[in-house]
Amino acid sequence: MVMQLLSHSKKNAKGKTYTYYSIAEPYWEDKKNKKKILFYLGNLTPLQAQQIRNILKASQSEDIFTATFEDMLFENHYRYLDIAFLNQLWDQEWKGLSGIFPTPEETSNTKQKEISTADIAKLLTFYRCLDPGSYLSAVEWFETTTCNLLLGIEPGQVNESRFYRELTAIEKQKEKIEQWLYQTLKNRNEKSMRIVFYDLSDSYFEGRRCPIAKPGRTKANGFREKRIILSLLVNSEGYPFSWKILEDYTADVSTLTKNTDLWQKQFNFSKIILVFDRGMVSDENLLNLENKQNYLYITALDKPQIAGVEKVNLERFKGFTNETTEKEILSNGLTKYDDVTFYEDMGIDSASRRHILIFNSDLLKDQRKTREKLIDIAIKELEDVKKSLLEAKKSRNLKPTEHKISEILRKRGVQSFIETKLESINISGESGSSISSFNLTYERNVENIKKSMLIDGIWMLVTNITETLESEEDRLKPEELISAYRDKNRIEEAFRDVKSFIKFQPTFVYTDDHVRAHYTICILSYLLDVTITNKLRQKPIEGIGSRAP
């Protein structure tokens, strides 16, 4: 085979150096290396020169061949980059998490396990992040990834039975995981553990059995035979560090008292500010927190509770409309927080609780628009019922008719805004028979609507954080209290991810330990998710959106 190579020479002209290329054939003559120029190529870019070298090399070697993309046949492909990225997060950002789980030697008295609980926890967490589904499907998913290489797990070691066995082992380490997360977060940023957020959510099962689930009404899916209640505690950066499935749940307000004692025992809080939703507000809960030295709290009152607060004067908002100006708002004793939010620190009441009244002009517009819309919808539905009653083909009974009307008003939340009356009437049937029915009349309850309008746009914080606290750091200003309560969207965001992105539901397990472990896996998945989110907040990447803080 004749050897050919890319030769070059340099020439200087007008102070510049030019490189000229040619294809040459080397040979030996008179005991000297010489070359014969076959083709002159002229000036080339570095890329062009390298491409020609590659062509010459390929044409002169039997071990090298060229092919087009169309010539290639891909028999299979395996997920790598996203799994490698999550593996890096787990090993670097949360270094030490795997060490919580027992080693194979610790969990086997006879024969050493081939893979560790930590490896399965990792694998299931990555699966929940990327392609959440059943634990049976996780086996098939594993075979389409590079987890075997990244985690050192052989395909033959992964099966459904192994997953279910390890779920029980994972759940046994839940409290240790919580403790490790709490201490790790505190060591990283102690201020992030000063204000923590607590909330509840619910889910349900479709299967035939689940001992941990109980009948009940879910917030988004109505009544379910197998409902479970999830609780979650996150720090001010959105990182989870405590979670629980509430097996003996009865109502939101009953969960807080038990959990505060458990948290204190588990984490030994020096002092924290607990932020929770208005659905958990009761005298019992507030007294319980006030009697504990380690807890301060920030929460909000339900609308009906606002009118009962000492010193509150709702009559001054009577004239507020969609067009009320900032000057008019400030003249009513409020202080500006932002362009649409104003507040008044109402001080401490006789129960030593501090109240902050907040007015939001956008909220006023939304609430009045929503009320009118719901009243209009209910009236339209009542008009349909009236027409049906007047055109009845058979006699109607009073109780079912009253119930139907009540359900329309209840469903739209306008029971106090519309008054209804049923009057018995007789209608002539087609054959001349008499049909008993009703004439429905209805009207708006103007007085109740006006009363409701007094608190449109208004909400109220209640807290035990006052100027009398010993620590100056704990004496939050009204603006700080409002900001802290608004930040509870961190935990609402967490539940949205756990239930939608990470897909807590549908739940493909049903035993007590497995359901609890499933929730733990979901939380670990969310931990990785919020880590990515926070990193993007710190250093945004152009073209990649991040959630608003």
- Reported as a single tens digit per residue, the pLDDT across 444-503 is 999 999 999 999 999 999 999 988 786 777 889 999 999 999 888 777 776 676 656 555
Please, what is the average pLDDT of the chain? 85
Contact between residue 150 and residue 86 where contact means Cβ atoms under 8 Å apart: no
Residues 6 or more apart whose Cβ sits within 8 Å of residue 451:
none
> Kind and range of the H or E element at 490?
helix 489-496
Residue 547 has pLDDT above 60, yes or no: no
Contact between residue 386 and residue 412 where contact means Cβ atoms under 8 Å apart: no
Contact between residue 80 and residue 146 where contact means Cβ atoms under 8 Å apart: yes
Alpha helix stretches (DSSP H) within 173-267: 174-188, 255-267
SS (H, E, C) 253-320: HHHHHHHHHHHHHHHCCCCEEEEECHHHCCHHHHHHHHCCCCEEEEEECCHHHHCCCCCCCHHHHCCC
Low-confidence winner among 132-136, 171-175, 239-243, 481-485 (lowest mean pLDDT): 132-136
Residue 103 has pLDDT above 80, yes or no: no
Q: How confident is the model at residue 112 (pLDDT cuts 50, 70, 90)?
A: very low
| Long-range own/partner contacts, residues 224-230 (CB < 8 A, 24 or more apart) | 227/202, 227/203, 228/202, 228/203, 228/204, 228/515, 229/200, 229/201, 229/202, 229/255, 230/200, 230/201, 230/202, 230/203, 230/495, 230/498, 230/504, 230/519
Residue 105: per-residue pLDDT:
61
d(CA 342, CA 340): 7
| % pLDDT > 90, the chain | 45
Using alpha carbons, list the distances in angstroms from residue 521 to 124, 170, 394: 7, 9, 58
Residue with tokens 């204000």: 195
Q: What is the largest CA-CA distance in the chain?
A: 132
Instruction: Render 421-437 in DSSP notation, one character per residue.
Output: EEEEEEEE-TTS-EEEE
**Beta strands in 391-520, from DSSP E residues, in sequence order:** 418-428, 434-444, 458-463
Residue 380 has pLDDT above 80, yes or no: yes
- Reported as a single tens digit per residue, the pLDDT across 13-22 is 878 888 888 9
Task: Give which of 37, 66, 120, 248 is closest to 521, Cα–Cα.
Answer: 120
Dihedral sign computed on CA atoms, order 64, 69, 74, 80: positive
Residue 111 has pLDDT above 60, yes or no: no
Residue 288 has pLDDT above 90, yes or no: no
Highest mean pLDDT among 66-80, 131-145, 314-328 belongs to 314-328
DSSP, res 30 = T
Using alpha carbons, list the distances in angstroms from residue 87 to 126, 281, 321, 423, 458: 8, 41, 55, 71, 47
Low-confidence winner among 89-98, 112-121, 200-209 (lowest mean pLDDT): 200-209
d(CA 170, CA 514): 9
pTM over 0.85: no
First to last CA, the chain: 68
Residues 6 or more apart whose Cβ sits within 8 Å of residue 197:
233, 234, 235, 236, 274, 275, 276, 487, 488, 490, 491
d(CA 448, CA 373): 16
Highest mean pLDDT among 5-14, 251-260, 355-364, 428-437 belongs to 355-364
CA dihedral 531, 537, 539, 540 (to 10 degrees): 120
Task: Give which of 335, 334, 316, 201 is closest to 255, Cα–Cα.
Answer: 201
Using alpha carbons, list the distances in angstroms from residue 547 to 196, 201, 277, 489, 538: 20, 21, 21, 11, 12
Tokens standing for residue 170: 């994972």
Residue with tokens 């059943």: 134
Residue 213: per-residue pLDDT:
47
d(CA 457, CA 364): 4
Phi and psi at residue 206, to the nearest 5°: -95, -20
Residue 251: per-residue pLDDT:
58
Contact between residue 21 and residue 42 where contact means Cβ atoms under 8 Å apart: yes
- Reported as a single tens digit per residue, the pLDDT across 216-274 is 454 544 444 456 788 889 999 999 999 988 776 555 566 787 888 889 999 998 889 99
Q: How confident is the model at residue 92 (pLDDT cuts 50, 70, 90)?
A: very high
